[in-house]
Each structure stands twice: as structure tokens, then as C-alpha cells.
Amino acid sequence: MAGDTIQLAQNADVAGTAPVDAAADPMAAPPADAGMPADGAMPMDGAPLDLGTGAPADLGGAEDLGSTTTAENPYGLAALWAQGDFVAKGTLIILVLMSLYSWFIILTKLWEQAQLLKQAKQASKDFWTGSNLQESINKLTGKGNAFRAIAESGIKASEHHEGRLTDKVPLTEWLSGNIQRNVDRMNNDLQRGLSFLASVGSTAPFVGLFGTVWGIYHALIAIGVAGQASIDKVAGPVGEALIMTAIGLAVAVPAVLGYNWLLRRNKAILDQIRYFSNDLYATLVSGSGRK
């Protein structure tokens, strides 16, 4: 009996000193992992660790996020031409032709005006220094000199006034009418092409607006066919409409500015021509320049 009691006491002591399960005791320290550094330091290569395995984490995903890819713009001018119907292409061609011819007129008129201003300066400087009209005319050089043409026409009119049906017309009126006709002819030459610039400036925005309306019309058709107003169904036609509006304005604005600029320069040139014609008329009527 006593032996049984001693045996039970020894078993109780052994059970009290049994190891405690770490999972059952939350306060127990976690076991050391062979993959983790003992002092919690980072690996020597500086790579972050995977918390699950202790191995360096894979940064391939981060590198993929940093890479950039370029996608082709499906709503540019190339897409407008490739996807547009014959109405959109025809509108675009009309706007391009209007723009090209407008710039052709602007550049050619500027060159013509520069030549006329140069001739006006030469006539004012050299023509009135001659001893007679023929000598003064010879000083006006240059191909197609407008001031030389006016002077030669005036001299010819004064010499061939008599002996014709016009001999009953007074010489002063005959010379005045002849010189005025030459001035009017030059004015018509200066004004040539400006009406086209005015027409382009007033109509190009409406041509672009037509392209805008046509693009919105296609956008509404795409919405109706798709049954929903998703951005991929309406982005193309609306982008086409906006491009047409921008092109129409880009054609109209230079035409209007060029028209006003050329018109102002034409006025200055025409004033120089009128001053020269009035002095020539006075010289021919007085007969002081003849030999």
C-alpha cells in the first residue's frame, strides 16, 4: 500500500515537469528558423525577404510595373483617313485644297507687292530727275514695270490724240481718262485673288462644321447599333468631328488675316500709283516734258 502511494507521487512529479506545447502557450517564444538571420538583419545582397520562406523576394513584378509600353493612337489623322467614309474624306480634301491655294495666293501677292513697292521707290527717286519724259522713262528699269507702262501709255495718248475720232475730245479729258484706265487696270491686278481669300475665310469654318455634324451623326448611329453609349463606340466619330472643326478653323484664320494684310498693302501701293499718275498728268497737260 505504501509502495503504491510512493509510485503515484513520482508519476505526478514527472507529469508536472512535462514540456509545454508552444502552440498552446501564446507567450512562448517562436523557434528559430534556419532561413532567417539570427539578429533579424537583411541579407547581404540587400534584397527584401519573403515573410513566408525567409528567402529573398522576387521583384520581377515591380520591374514589369516600371516598364512603359506605347500604344498606337486610334483617333489621329491617319485613323480619320483610314476609317472615314467618302463624305469625311471629301470634306478633308476640300479643306486641304482651300488651305493650299490660300497660302499660294498669300505668298504670290506678297512677292508682287514687294516688286511694286520697289518700282514705286525707283519712280519717285529717278523718274523726275530726267530732262524729258523719254529720258525719265528709260530710267524705269525692270521687267513689267507698272510705272513705266503708265508713263508710256500717257505719252502715246498725248501724241495720238489728233486726227482720230477722239480729236474732238479735249486733250485734258483724253489724258485723264487714259491714265485713269491704267490705274484701274492695276487696281484690278492688285485685287485679283483676294476674293478667294475672303470666301475661304467665311466658308471654311462651316465646311469644318459640316464634318463635325457628319461625325456626330456617325456617333449616334454607333450608339444605336450598340444599344449603349460606351466610350469605345463614340470616341472615334466624336474625335473625327473635333478634328474637322479644328481643320476648318486652321484654314479660315490664315485666309482672313492674309486678306486684311494684303488689302492694307494694296491701299498703300495704289496711293503711290495715284500720286505718280497725277504728276504725270500735270506734266503731259503742260507739255513741259516734251521735245
pLDDT tens per residue across span 163-197: 566 667 777 888 888 889 989 999 999 999 999 99
C-alpha cell at 146: 507698272
What is the pLDDT, as a whole number, of residue 123? 87
- Report the pLDDT value the prediction gives residue 6, as an integer from 0 to 100: 45
| Domain-embedded: residue 122 | yes
User: What is the residue range of 166's domain?
Assistant: 83-286
What's residue 155's pLDDT?
A: 84
Q: How far apart are CA 177 and CA 108, in angstroms?
A: 30
Query: How far is 277 from 291, CA to CA, in rounded Å?
Result: 20
Residue 183: exposed, middle, or buried by beta-carbon count in 10 A (0-12, 13-18, 19+)?
middle
Q: How many residues does the chain have?
A: 291
Q: Is residue 61 part of a domain?
A: no
Evaluate whether residue 37 is within a structural domain: no
pLDDT at 258: 95
C-alpha span between 17 and 24 (Å, rounded) = 16
Predicted confidence at residue 15, as pLDDT, reads: 45
Backbone angles phi, psi at 124, to 5 degrees: -70, -30
Phi (first) and psi of residue 269, to 5 degrees: -70, -40
**249 residue type, one letter:** L
Query: Which value, in Å, is the radius of gyration of the alpha carbons in the chain?
Result: 47
103 to 33, 206, 225: CA distances (angstroms)? 81, 19, 42
250 is a domain residue: yes
Q: Is residue 205 part of a domain?
A: yes
Q: What are phi and psi of 187, to 5 degrees?
A: -65, -40
Residues of the chain with confidence (pLDDT) below 50: 1-3, 5-38, 40-42, 44, 47, 49, 59-67
Which of 226, 188, 217 lies closest to 87, judged by CA? 217
Rounded to two decimals, the pTM is 0.66
Helix (H, G, I), strand (E, B) or coil at 135: helix
Half-sphere exposure (Cβ direction) of 31: Cα atoms closer than 13 Å = 6
In a domain, 158, yes or no: yes
Residue 89 lies in a domain: yes
Indicate the number of domains in the chain.
Answer: 1
What burial class does residue 156 get, using C-beta atoms within 10 Å of its C-beta: 0-12 exposed, 13-18 middle, 19+ buried?
exposed
In DSSP notation, 195-242 reads HHHHHHHHHHHHHHHHHHHHHHHHHHHHHHHHSS--HHHHHHHHHHHH
Q: State the Cα–Cα distance between residues 270 and 32, nearest whole angstrom.
A: 102
Q: Where are the beta strands (DSSP E) in the chain?
A: none
DSSP state of 20: P
Residue 28 contacts residue 20 (beta carbons within 8 Å): yes
Domain annotation covers residue 177: yes
Give the tens place of pLDDT for each residue, 204-251: 999 999 888 887 887 788 777 777 767 766 676 677 778 888 899 999
Distance CA 232, CA 219 (A): 10
Query: Residue 39 and residue 172: Cα distance in Å, rounded?
Result: 119
